[in-house]
Amino acid sequence: MRVRSWSFLVLAAGLCAACGRRGTPADEIVALTEAPLLRLDPRFAQTNWDTRVSRLLAPGLVGLKDMGFGPTEGVAEWLAQDDAAGLTWVARLRPDARFPDGRVLDAEDVRYTFTSMSDPYLGSPWRKSWDEIIAAVEVVDARTVRFRLRQPRAPFRTDLDFGIVDSRHARPRDEAVRKAAHDGTSPPVFEPADEVVGAGPYRLAVRGADVVTLARNPYAREPPAADKLTFRTIRDDNSRILALVGGSADLIQNGMTPLVVETLEGNPRLRVVHAPSATITYLGFQNTDAILKDRRVRQAIAMAIDRPRIIAAKFRGRAEIANSFLDARNVFHAPDARLWPHDPAAARRLLDQAGYPDPDGPGPAPRFTLTWKTSSVRFRVALAQVMAQELREVGIEVDVRPFDQATFFDDIKKGNAQLFSLQMTDVVEADFLRTMVHSARIPSEANSWGGANRFRYRDAEVDRLLDEAAVAMVPQRRRDLYATVQRRLAEDLPFFPLWHEHNVIAHQASLRDVMLTPTGRLEGLLRAGKGP
């Protein structure tokens, strides 16, 4: 019945659109998102969409082309290690990296971007990470900047894929925020459209609650094909699809259920492209919880979930089972990390051993009850409910609670969730594991809730291995260390890697040269334009 309902909605919209499609302006690409954009300044951006859009406004010293993933370069023309010990790096800036007012991005902009994040009054969630890496950032001359590191760091080049902001624009805003935080008063109100200025292909033109419009940076070194790129948030799944089919939007990236994707593939006015991705969907455990702190419970939950069935039924096969945050195409992926097959009988035995016997055998009384928090996106809620039902079959009662993006994100950062399901994109650099599970990355009020170890996982051996991997300059040694970490995490299960979902874009057939990147980044839209 649901299939017919979706098909009917899409068909009805298509018929209506055929009578008179509204369309979008010829010089503008309109993309739909399922969640609103929150912070676009790269120093404060945390959500997937915020980070993706911020890179179009403020690229880093290095970019995708520098790392082999696509068409975009950074604002540095070269970056090199400047000493044998690996403690000093020098970057030379491109002379044609310009802000939207025509000013050339200089070394002071780079210095300010990184040093401003160390200010506790500004509350950057990246403060602790950068303070641990960088001892000093020095201006050598207008186009040259020197980084002095606290210790050698193997992934420093990829670290610098971090947006550089216009210091002359950011400094007065930061000073006003800093003064208000210091004085204990409310921060001043700024014009939303002036949130961030960078030297990217686009500038921020319109900033509303549910709409963000980027306009071409007139001084962009590589101008994008479209004059404008608009992101419009439509939270309701049905309405979002109908807007695309009806012609009032140009594309949706990953905001569709596989069932709808199949229907859209039959629409001659649309094109659908998909490919394997580096995105990871995972089930997070609160490792300090009285029940979930026992790894046998976490392992039982893993074995109760039938991932092959879910991938076949819910994703139509367009996902791969995961055993790590890193996907199988990543050079640091450990293929021998435990995969945890579906085994309800083994899950029940583990729960018995953990001291949670089923009080009435196959009866309705549960062993215990857990709360599962997820975003309010309908498909994500449906996935959580499917897995919750599988947990009930082994005696675990689950209360699935959907929340809006801001509330959900705030809760998991502060540890207010026993179970939570989430996605992470851009999982390319293996040091991402350090970001997610090192005990120094646990969110707290002291670090402005900026750590990504929302599982509150602590393992001294994992910390040691990750610390060593971060300074191991020999690639094979890094691979060995990260493989050991992945195998240990797969046994201990502070989180349960579920699957790597395919990236999918559905777009109007009139939109040409859309490139789908493995990371899901939006740089694939820079060459896109409209044609007959």
Amino acid at 371: T
Residue 22 has what pLDDT?
Answer: 65
Per-residue pLDDT of the chain (532 residues; tens, 9 = 90+): 344 444 445 444 444 444 445 689 999 999 999 888 989 999 999 888 899 999 999 999 998 765 555 656 899 999 999 998 889 999 999 999 999 999 999 999 999 999 999 999 898 988 888 998 999 999 999 999 999 999 999 999 989 999 999 999 999 999 998 898 888 888 777 766 678 999 999 999 999 889 999 999 999 998 999 999 999 999 888 899 999 999 999 999 987 888 889 899 999 999 999 888 888 999 999 999 999 999 999 999 999 999 999 999 999 999 999 999 999 989 999 999 999 999 999 999 999 999 999 999 888 899 999 999 998 888 899 999 999 999 999 999 999 999 988 899 899 999 999 999 998 877 888 999 998 999 999 998 877 787 889 999 999 999 999 999 999 989 999 999 999 999 999 999 999 999 999 989 999 999 999 988 778 889 889 999 987 6
Full strand arrangement of the beta sheet holding 144-149: 76-81, 88-93, 144-149, 134-141
Place of tokens 């670090």: 447
Residue 195 has what pLDDT?
Answer: 86
Residue 7 has what pLDDT?
Answer: 46
Residue 15 has what pLDDT?
Answer: 40
Q: What residues form DSSP beta bridges with 202?
A: 216
Cα–Cα distance measured from residue 482 to residue 479, given in angstroms and rounded to the nearest whole number = 5
CA 488, 490, 493, 496 dihedral sign is positive
Residue 107 has what pLDDT?
Answer: 98
CA 426, 338, 456, 375 dihedral sign is positive
Residue 71 has what pLDDT?
Answer: 57
| 3-class DSSP assignment, residue 474 | coil
pTM confidence score: 0.80
User: How far is the CA of 478 from the CAs of 83, 161, 381, 431, 434, in angstroms?
Assistant: 21, 20, 38, 10, 13
CB distance 327 to 520 below 8 Å? no
Amino acid at 38: L
488: CB partners within 8 A, 6+ apart: 459, 461, 462, 465
Cα–Cα distance measured from residue 74 to residue 62, given in angstroms and rounded to the nearest whole number = 4
